Amino acid sequence: MARLRAKALDLRRHMVTQARGKGQGYLGQGLGIADFLTFMYFHEFEAKDLEFDRGDRRRFLLSTGHYSIALWAVLAELGIIPVPDLLSYGADGSPLEMSTMEGHVPGVEMTGGSLGHGLGVATGIALGYRLDGYASTIHVEISDGELQEGSTWEAANTAAALKADNLVCWVDCNGIQADGPLVVPVDPVPARFSAFGWLSMEIDGNDYDQLLDAFVWAAKREGKPKVVVMRTKPGCGITRIEQRDRAHFVRIDADEWDDVARELEAENG
């Protein structure tokens, strides 16, 4: 676990580098799923899964395109993006956009700027894998806000009806949307998916023991698609962002970035 915690800290540093360079960014969500992405890419995935031209690889789709700040951090840590390029986050002409666009950077499996499409895209890929005889699992991350999209539930219904047991959906339930906390409730999320015919699990998405248990559970094929509902903390790892009422899109004063950097270094011991 120590190795994974250290890796997650590296991802958080990369995210802060991006947001500080731009002066703003979707930092709250990125920090919140840093632990999950650490498990996905540095525990679950093997080298062959990172061969992005390989047709039968396990795939991870980031439906929430505005979480790109977290994906760029992962790809930099994997050596796919040069670390200095992180400073171009959100700049005009940079491939490291503030919302992911497929085809610009290896490792981006879908264009995620328009919310509500990730589960449908992942369902289609999972069914295609089954037709092609590929045994690999398709993982997709969606947000609790996307549970307010009818297209998400159409995909959930289809995946369950066609018994796409090579599909795992990870729902980032951070409780925030653009202007503050969720207004229209989405709970009980596990029960809603179960009603559609999914197997459901709920965890603290920033707890390493629970994340490990979730990945072990998700790896077992049981004839139905699976969903892991992750309760995450926006801004996790940086106190001044954790305490914000509005952590969706973060702007902080120039001198505060030094405090953020010091807190991350203190975590490093």
pLDDT single digits (tens) 29-52: 999 999 999 999 999 999 999 999
Beta bridge mates, 254: none
- Sign of the torsion angle spanned by Cα atoms 28, 32, 36, 41: positive
pLDDT on residue 263:
87
User: What backbone torsions phi and psi does residue 213 show, to the nearest 5 degrees?
Assistant: -60, -40
CB 135 within 8 A of CB 146: no
What's 191-228 look like in SS3? HHHHHHCCEEEEEECCCHHHHHHHHHHHCCCCCCCEEE
Question: Which residues have a Cβ under 8 Å from the Cβ of 166 and sit 6 or more positions away?
Answer: 126, 129, 130, 135, 136, 137, 138, 221
Tokens of 118: 């990730």
pLDDT on residue 268:
67
pLDDT on residue 247:
64
Q: What is the DSSP letter of 236?
A: T
List of E strands, the chain: 59-62, 138-143, 167-173, 176-177, 180-181, 199-204, 226-231
Q: Is the pTM of this model over 0.85?
A: yes
Tokens of 236: 């996790």
3-state secondary structure of 166: coil
Widest Cα–Cα separation across the chain: 55
Please list the ranges in the chain whose pLDDT falls under 50.
Answer: none
- Mind listing the domains of the chain with CATH numbers? 2-267 (3.40.50.970)
pLDDT on residue 248:
67
pLDDT on residue 227:
99
CB 140 within 8 A of CB 167: yes
Cα atoms in the 13 Å half-sphere on the side-chain side of 74: 27
Residue 252, number of CB atoms within 10 A of its CB: 18
